[in-house]
């Protein structure tokens, strides 16, 4: 085996002579030491390279595993969100509304009983002699203090001259238990008294007793008012399509009548909308039903008396924080009214119209 340090001055065939003055032994030891150090360094470099390679492989695997886990979390989150939106969707087809038997009023077994006798509450309310007495018997809501302040004396005078009253029905609507009564006057139009069960006991709903609306009914009928955020009316389905609402495939028409008087308004809702579905559930054939709605898009100075029903706020005339149009769980295929468990004790029976037989 040749070597780079072979003495090239040696003649062929002649043995190499050691130079007495040279340090050949020390030179060879230095060469061996250098070669050994170089080999050791190469081995260490290879081991470090292999360790770096294994580290890169483990890091690459960890990154891929982390990315896969993140993707899986995103997929599960999206699936859960889709399931939640489907279960809380308000655009379900009409068939779903019927098959799920979602309810507006109480189930067939009847509403929860009103604590105490609701007839006694009506009797005390009609016998009140001061606005303070009316307030003690009235349901507290956003409008009742203002209505009592503005119409308290009117209510006292009207009650003093009332002729007779009787119970109509009890039910559960908009998440509230109540009993309905009709009160007739000797010379003025009748009124409806609703006894609502509250945490303080049975109370009279003042807004319903006054038939209160946010806009005057005559102003709406003559075009002086073009909208009403709150309108208490008796709604019935009709087939009247004119002016802006000639397309009976796009609109469903309703007659909106006050408790008293002959002037009616015409309300239109888009077919297959939430408002249309709710009214279809409440109103059957040509019968009327008391509702609270919001009206928009009336024409100023017009005699058309046509409005768009923008929202259905409540079934019957009892308002609550839960708007019926926004709470599908309050819907049902049919309505259920039940005779009063404690009938009225004052006054003579009224005619069938007062008993809401047209509902």
- Spell out the SS3 assignment of the chain: CCCCCCCCCCCCCCCCCCCCCCCHHHHHHHHHHHHHHHHHHHHHHHHHHHHHHHHHHHHHHHHHHHHHHHHHHHHHHHHHHHHHHHHCCCCCCHHHHHHCCCCCCCCCCCCCCCCCCHHHHHHHHHCCCCHHHHHHCECCCCCHHHHHHHHHHHHHHHHHCEEEEEEEEEEEECCEEEEEEEEEECCCCCEEEEEEEECCEEEECHHHHHCCCCCCHHHHHHCCCCCEEEEEEEEEEECCCCHHHCCCCCEEEEEEECCCCCCCEEEEEECCCHHHHHHHHHCCCCCEEEEEEEEECCCCCCCCCEEEEEEEEEECCCCCCCCHHHCHHHCCCCCCCECCCCCCCCCCCCCHHHHCCCC
Q: Place 307 in a pLDDT band, splitting at 50, 70 and 90.
A: very high
Q: Is the residue at 149 inside a domain?
A: yes
Bigger pLDDT: 206 or 330?
206
User: What's the domain count of the chain?
Assistant: 2
Q: Are residues 348 and 205 in the same domain?
A: yes
Q: Are residues 205 and 225 in the same domain?
A: no
Q: Are residues 225 and 161 in the same domain?
A: no
For the domain that residue 265 is a member of, what is the CATH number?
A: 2.40.50
Please report the pLDDT score of residue 12 as a whole number: 53
Tens-digit pLDDT profile for residues 69-121: 888 888 888 888 877 766 554 343 333 333 333 334 444 445 555 556 788 89
Given a cut of 80, whether residue 349 has pLDDT beyond it is no
Q: Is the pTM of this model over 0.85?
A: no
Q: Place 299 in a pLDDT band, splitting at 50, 70 and 90.
A: confident
Q: Is the residue at 92 inside a domain?
A: no
What is the average pLDDT score of the chain? 75
Please report the pLDDT score of residue 113 as a whole number: 55
* Share above pLDDT 90 across residues of the chain, in percent, rounded to a whole number: 20
Please report the pLDDT score of residue 326 as a whole number: 63
Q: Is the residue at 321 inside a domain?
A: no
Given a cut of 60, whether residue 317 has pLDDT beyond it is yes
Q: Are residues 165 and 195 in the same domain?
A: yes
Given a cut of 70, whether residue 231 has pLDDT beyond it is yes
Q: Is the residue at 45 inside a domain?
A: no
Please report the pLDDT score of residue 344 as a whole number: 38
Domain that holds residue 187: 118-211+339-355
Q: Is the residue at 25 inside a domain?
A: no
């Amino acid at each position: 085996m040749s070597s780079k340090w072979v003495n090239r001055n040696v003649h062929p065939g002649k043995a190499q002579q050691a130079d007495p003055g040279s340090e050949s032994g020390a030179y060879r030891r230095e060469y061996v030491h250098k070669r050994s150090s170089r080999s050791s360094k190469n081995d260490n470099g290879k081991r470090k390279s292999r360790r770096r390679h294994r580290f890169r492989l483990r890091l690459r695997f960890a990154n891929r595993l982390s990315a896969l886990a993140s993707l899986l979390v995103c997929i599960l989150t999206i699936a859960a969100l889709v399931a939640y939106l489907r279960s809380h969707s308000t655009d379900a087809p009409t068939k779903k509304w019927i098959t799920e038997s979602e309810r507006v009023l109480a189930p067939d077994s009847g509403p929860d009983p009103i604590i105490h006798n609701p007839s006694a509450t009506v009797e005390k309310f009609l016998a009140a002699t001061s606005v303070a007495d009316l307030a003690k018997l009235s349901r507290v809501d956003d409008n009742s203090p203002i209505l009592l302040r503005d119409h308290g004396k009117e209510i006292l005078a009207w009650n003093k001259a009332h002729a007779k009253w009787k119970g109509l029905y009890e039910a559960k609507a908009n998440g509230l238990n109540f009993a309905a009564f009709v009160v007739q006057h000797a010379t003025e139009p009748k009124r409806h008294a609703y006894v609502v069960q509250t945490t303080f006991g049975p109370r009279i709903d003042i807004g319903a007793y006054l038939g209160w609306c946010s806009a005057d009914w005559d102003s709406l009928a003559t075009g002086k008012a073009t909208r009403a955020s709150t309108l208490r009316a008796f709604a019935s389905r009709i087939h009247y399509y004119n002016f802006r609402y000639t397309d009976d495939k796009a609109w469903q028409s309703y007659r909106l009548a006050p408790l008293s008087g002959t002037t009616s308004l015409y309300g239109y809702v888009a077919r297959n909308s939430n408002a249309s579905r709710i009214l279809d559930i409440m109103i059957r054939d040509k019968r009327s039903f008391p509702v609270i709605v919001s009206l928009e898009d009336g024409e100023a100075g017009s005699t058309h008396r046509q409005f768009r029903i923008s929202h259905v706020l409540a079934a019957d005339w009892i308002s609550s924080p839960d708007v019926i149009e926004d709470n599908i769980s309050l819907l049902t295929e049919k309505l259920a009214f039940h005779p009063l468990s404690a009938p009225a004790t004052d006054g003579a029976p009224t005619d069938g119209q007062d008993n809401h037989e047209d509902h």
